[in-house]
Amino acid sequence: MNKILSSMSAAAIALVGFSATASATVIDFTSAAVPILSTADYVVTGTPVNPGTSGDLPPFSPLPYTDGTVLAGLNDGLGVRNSEIGQFGEFQSITVTFLNGPVRLVSAYLLDLYVCASDLAIGSCDAGEAEHVTVTSDYGGSADTFGTEIAGETGGDGVNDIPGTFDEPGRGLLVADLVGESFTFTVGTSNDNFGVPDAALAAIRIAPVPLPASALLLLAGVGGLAAMRRRNAA
């Protein structure tokens, strides 16, 4: 009985310890001039071709976001065929697949995600029209966000601007809170000042999947058995 209790206690403590100490991690695709698309933990793929970045926007280093996250900004994010998802008149997407089981996608960080300002428009767009990005999980569920920064805006919008830069990089924060093994990012049909619906994936924040209820029940059971054993011994 002592051995069983000891083994169950060790397993429960290990599970709870992992849950308590594990924290969110940011995967920054802008951390190098050539983005890292494959590691032992994840792989990034694209449709119809694998992602890349063309560097057609100036680098913004460091690259701060409204939630306090700061990316390296050494490239302008992941796109398909170039540094954007959604160009060339075809369906484009980027999928991040995790190789060691499910994770929780906390948020995603986007670039080149703009809102149209008609006085600055070079292409066709309606004033206030905002580019739109959606992420879907292979476990079900989706989340989305819209652009808020203005392309070509000298001096920025006064909110979390990057000093000394001519243009806003089109930062977008997508709060997801989705669980899955694969997450696919797509861009809607709304336009920016250039009349092109597009955006780039700069980074994602992930966290371990929350401790399942079964593990909490295991811990409660171990505690109950231990209490009964102490009472019987008394």
Domains and their CATH numbers in the chain = 22-209 (2.60.120)
Mean pLDDT of the region 200-225: 72
Least confident window among 5-14, 47-56, 171-180, 181-190:
5-14
Residue 37 to residue 12: CA distance in whole angstroms: 35
**pLDDT value of residue 167:** 59
**pLDDT value of residue 201:** 95
